[in-house]
């Protein structure tokens, strides 16, 4: 059987730029005079879909994920048009998972009802924190309670699967702030939570603030303690971890699209700056929306670069990504030195002993905190 096939759609538009974000996004003022617009983007996405079909051939789509940026700025009608174009071009497999990211401040009950009518099955909302001062540091625009309200609206509209994103270890965040955020997440009744330690990316406004001494850099020890707090609270509430940064209330609540990335699946990334992967070939699109649209309007590919992964590179990625999953990876994916390193990691309580005895390398919670080091130990020198 071929691996699952997903479609990722990148929406590059944002109402404002958050200080920590280094994604390929643009505000209206940044695009002023470029000719880029949501309608122009939509036309270009349709054109890239036709290009994708000419390359991939007949292959039903198992998952669709609309990310950004802020997809909810497009509104439910445009997002429905995007999904309709995917459906008309490829067709959706039975039971396909269809997700869109949304920012709480650009959603409403009517928005969620429109998404459900269009065929979306899952919503992911950026919450980040319930603490007002943490949101200010992150330069998030929504009020602390809006994310929870939006999650409840999505559930009331009929969405069975709703995710809330958290960011932890932001400068100025306290343990009590994180506890309050977790309380709010659980009160929302969602079946999926993603939680990421803040990373200060080069070139962002936050990086400049840290360099000037206006903000302290995130502390690794604090981040580790916060991770353990998150894991304890979510697991106690019935949300089990299935990937280092993701917890779900059931197997069906796990994000199948992201599992496709972690399990070496195939996907086509539509939109400016989007990345694609098919059978060991990886490529990425030009970043600017105007250039992206112009190339496609001219009948050209929007591809900016391409690489063919060597067997060694594919092996490295397979170990790195599969080890992040709760199920881990089969020991027979490792060479003799890697299996010996796995045995030592069991002794160091970084890998689970019962899983190892059953032929798998699976991280313990301590191992999750040191996952990069474990991966390095398992790979050939």
pLDDT (tens place) for every residue of the chain, 381 residues total? 678 999 999 999 999 989 999 899 999 999 988 989 999 999 999 999 999 999 999 999 999 999 999 999 999 999 999 999 999 999 999 999 999 999 999 999 999 999 999 999 999 999 999 999 999 999 998 888 999 999 999 999 999 999 999 999 999 999 999 999 999 999 999 999 999 999 999 999 999 999 999 999 999 999 999 999 999 999 999 999 999 999 999 999 999 999 999 999 999 999 999 999 998 899 999 999 999 999 999 999 999 999 999 999 999 999 999 999 999 999 999 999 999 999 999 999 999 999 999 999 999 999 999 999 999 999 998
pLDDT score recorded for residue 2: 75
Check residue 60 and report its DSSP letter.
-
Question: How long a stretch of residues is the chain?
Answer: 381
Count the Cβ atoms, other than its own, within 10 Å of residue 292: 28
Beta bridge partners of 330: 360
Tell me how far apart the terminal alpha carbons of the chain are, to the nearest angstrom: 33
* Confidence at residue 204, expressed as pLDDT on a 0 to 100 scale: 94
115, 80 Cβ separation under 8 angstroms: yes
Cα–Cα distance, 78 to 177 (Å, whole number)? 36
d(CA 214, CA 216): 7
- Other CB atoms within a 10 A radius of the CB of residue 295 amount to 19
Task: Report the C-alpha gap between 241 and 261 in whole angstroms.
Answer: 17
Predicted local confidence at residue 368, as pLDDT: 98
Q: What is the pLDDT of residue 381?
A: 82
pTM of this structure: 0.96
Dihedral, CA of residue 360, residue 366, residue 367 and residue 368, to nearest 10: 110
Could you give the CA distance from residue 124 to residue 130 in angstroms, rounded to a whole number?
A: 16
Tokens of 331: 């020991």
Judge contact between 195 and 287, C-beta under 8 A: no
Q: Are 200 and 218 in contact (CB under 8 A)?
A: yes
**Closest by Cα among 333, 375, 368, 335 to 350:** 368
Helix 75-89 vs helix 38-56: crossing angle, to nearest 10 = 20
> What are the structure tokens assigned to 276, written together?
């694609």
Strand residues in the chain grouped as ranges (E):
5-11, 61-68, 92-102, 122-128, 161-168, 192-197, 240-243, 246-248, 266-270, 275-278, 281-285, 303-308, 329-330, 360-361
**111, containing H or E segment:** helix 109-118
Max CA distance (Å), the chain? 62
Q: What is the pLDDT of residue 35?
A: 87
Q: How far apart are CA 102 and CA 107, in angstroms?
A: 7
Q: Say how far residue 176 (Cα) sits from the centre of its chain.
A: 26
Cα–Cα nearest to 11, from 73, 94, 59: 73
Give the up-direction half-sphere exposure of residue 10: CA atoms within 13 A in the CB hemisphere: 23
Domains of the chain: 5-262 (3.20.20.70), 312-378 (no CATH)
Task: Give the whole-angstrom CA distance, residue 238 versus residue 345.
Answer: 28
Enter the DSSP assignment of 160. Answer: S
For residue 97, the Cα-to-chain-centroid distance in whole angstroms is: 14
* Residue owning tokens 């200060």: 200
* Contact predicate 301/295, CB 8 Å: yes
Sole residue written with tokens 């020890």: 221
Strand partners, 246: 194, 243
């Amino acid at each position: 059987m071929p691996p699952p096939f997903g479609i990722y759609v990148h929406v590059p538009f944002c109402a404002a730029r958050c200080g920590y974000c280094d994604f390929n996004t643009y505000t209206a003022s940044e695009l002023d005079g470029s000719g880029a617009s949501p309608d122009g983007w939509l036309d270009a996405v349709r054109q890239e879909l036709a290009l994708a079909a000419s390359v991939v051939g007949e292959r039903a789509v198992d998952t669709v994920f609309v990310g950004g940026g802020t997809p909810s700025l497009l509104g439910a009608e445009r997002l429905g048009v995007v999904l309709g174009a995917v459906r008309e071009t490829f067709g959706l497999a039975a039971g396909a998972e269809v997700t869109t990211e949304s920012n709480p401040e650009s959603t409403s009950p009517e928005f969620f009802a429109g998404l459900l009518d269009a065929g979306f099955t899952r919503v992911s909302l950026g919450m980040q924190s319930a603490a007002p001062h943490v949101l200010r540091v992150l330069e998030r625009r929504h009020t602390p309670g809006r994310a929870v309200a939006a999650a409840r609206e999505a559930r009331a509209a009929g969405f069975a699967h709703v995710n809330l994103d958290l960011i932890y270890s932001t400068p100025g965040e306290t343990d009590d702030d994180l506890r309050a955020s977790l309380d709010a997440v659980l009160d929302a009744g969602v079946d999926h939570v993603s939680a990421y330690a803040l990373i200060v990316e080069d070139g962002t406004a936050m990086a400049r603030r840290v360099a000037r001494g206006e903000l302290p850099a995130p502390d690794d020890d604090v981040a580790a303690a916060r991770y353990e707090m998150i894991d304890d609270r979510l697991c106690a509430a019935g949300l089990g971890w299935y990937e280092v940064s993701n917890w779900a209330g059931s197997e069906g609540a796990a994000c199948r699209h992201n599992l496709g990335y972690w399990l070496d699946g195939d996907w086509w990334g539509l939109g400016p700056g989007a990345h694609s992967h098919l059978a060991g070939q990886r490529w990425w699109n030009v970043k600017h929306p105007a250039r992206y649209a112009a190339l496609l309007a001219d009948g050209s590919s929007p591809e900016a670069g391409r690489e063919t992964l060597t067997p060694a590179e594919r092996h490295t990625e397979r170990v790195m990504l599969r080890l992040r999953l709760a199920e881990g990876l089969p020991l027979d994916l490792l060479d003799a030195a890697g299996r010996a390193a796995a045995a030592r990691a069991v002794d160091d309580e970084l890998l689970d002993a019962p899983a190892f005895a059953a032929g798998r390398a699976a991280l313990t919670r301590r191992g999750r905190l040191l996952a990069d080091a474990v991966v390095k130990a398992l790979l050939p020198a």
